[in-house]
Amino acid sequence: MRRVFFVVLLLPLAAAAELVDKNTDRQLCQAAQLDSGLPATVNTLLQEERMEFADAPRLLEMDCNGRTLLRTLVDERQAENLEYAVIDLGVSPDTRIDTQVGTMTLSAWLKHQGQEHDNPRVREFARTYRDRFRDASFNPNLLVSAQ
């Protein structure tokens, strides 16, 4: 009986784990592949209260046709979209994210991509952004979190 009660209590949490509906997820995945497409889409979702600012770390983990939104941004070298997702939405380089290689920090994942990705251009992109996200002159969130 206790097990059934425990499972029933967890059902609302499982339902809440979904970021947004499938149509909106599709919009976000498409926006991630367009130059500067993500900010407008996310801002609209925030204004329409279909997404919350606190959902930003989960946004990076969202499935976009078999790869995460973060992986899409890096694979497609979408600099402005990646900067928006990390800096403007306030995701720390130390934020833990679920990846295909396990749970790790955003910074560690970018380091991994900078070393292991098949495409040398993507490796360089990942290394560059890992360094930039750790630079307070590029990422003003670091100044705020240091205070």
| DSSP H helices in 33-78 | 37-47, 56-61, 69-75
Give dist(CA 71, CA 54) in Å, integer: 20
Question: pTM score > 0.85 for this model?
Answer: no
Grouping H, G, I as helix, E, B as strand and the rest as coil, residue 64 is strand
* pLDDT by 10s per residue, the chain, length 147: 444 433 333 333 333 334 668 888 999 999 999 999 999 999 999 999 888 888 888 899 999 999 999 999 999 999 999 999 998 888 888 999 988 888 999 999 999 999 999 999 999 999 999 999 988 888 888 877 555
What is the per-residue DSSP string for 81-123?
Answer: HHHIIIIITT--TT-EEEETTEEEEHHHHHHHHHHH-SSHHHH
